[in-house]
Amino acid sequence: MTLPDSFYQRSDVVQIARELLGKVIITEKAGITTSAMITETEAYAGVTDKASHAWRGRRTQRTEVMYAAGGVAYVYLCYGIHHLFNVVTYKEDIPHAILIRAASPLEGTDIMLERRRHERLTPSLTAGPGSMSMALGIHTNDSGIWLQGPEIRLEDRRIIIPEHEIVATPRIGVAYAGEDAYLPYRFYVKGNPYVSKGKYLQQP
DNA sequence: CAAACGATTTTCT
DNA sequence: GAAAATCGTTTGG
């Protein structure tokens, strides 16, 4: 079942980030379908979260889509190279978002290997937000699209990740966010090889 | 208008 | 482990 708008339009972005583990992301680009099971996410909790692009209500052409009602994509370019895919949550004017950081390949792995110019299937194909987006063919010009259209959608395929297999840690690459860099807003599936290896700030 | 800088990944030592 | 790659967005003058 495709996740409905009501899944995204809830208020607890951290809880939704947790629930996204085990959901399946499907993309269809030029008639080619690829899919993968989400294994790692990070919540960005709106205007009070220093790590968020929308901190203190910052509103620019790039971040405008974060202020839309939940259920659309926010894709932006990072370090001039990587296209990072987020889902927008909650309601209009509240800029919650969840970064999808990694996923385990399901359908179309041959296409994903081509897109990444990889010879063999290894976790580096889709572990890490930039790698995952490239493998699935997600681009910044997908930013703002509705997550029920053909290009990108998320499905519940009744995959259950047991509570004890979910690990929470601080988020990666947000050292600039002061004390908010320590919030346990990153979630991943314990033991799954398709999880990024990035280092995060440890509690001092 | 110039300049700094990333919610990263890959490569080189 | 360190550093380069690479460019749109944002900020400051």
- How much is the pTM? 0.96
Quickly give A152 CA vs C3 C1' distance in Å.
35
pLDDT tens sequence across A35-81 = 999 999 999 999 999 999 999 999 999 999 999 999 999 999 999 99
Looking at residue A199, what is its pLDDT? Answer: 79
Task: Find and list the nucleotides of strand B having atoms within 7 Å of a protein beta carbon.
Answer: 6-10
Quickly give A23 CA vs B3 C1' distance in Å.
42
- Nucleotide showing the shortest C1' distance to residue A140 CA: C8
Quickly give A7 CA vs B9 C1' distance in Å.
32
- Nucleotide showing the shortest C1' distance to residue A64 CA: C9
Average pLDDT over residues A98-121: 97
Looking at residue A105, what is its pLDDT? Answer: 98
- Nucleotide showing the shortest C1' distance to residue A77 CA: C8
- Nucleotide showing the shortest C1' distance to residue A56 CA: C10
Mean of per-residue pLDDT scores for chain A = 96
Per CATH, the number for A5-189 is: 3.10.300.10
Average pLDDT over residues A133-150: 96
Q: What percent of chain A has pLDDT over 70?
A: 99
DSSP characters over chain A: -BPPHHHHTSS-HHHHHHHTTT-EEEEEETTEEEEEEEEEEEEEEGGG-TTSTTGGG---TTGGGGGSPSSBEEEEEETTTEEEEEEEESSTT--EEEEEEEEEE-S-HHHHHHHHT-SS--GGGTBSHHHHHHHHT--GGGTT-BTTSSSEEEE-------GGGEEEEPPBS-GGGGGGGGS--EEEETT-SSS----BPPP-
With cut-offs at 50, 70 and 90, classify the pLDDT of residue A134.
Answer: very high
Task: Find and list the nucleotides of strand C having atoms within 7 Å of a protein beta carbon.
Answer: 5-11
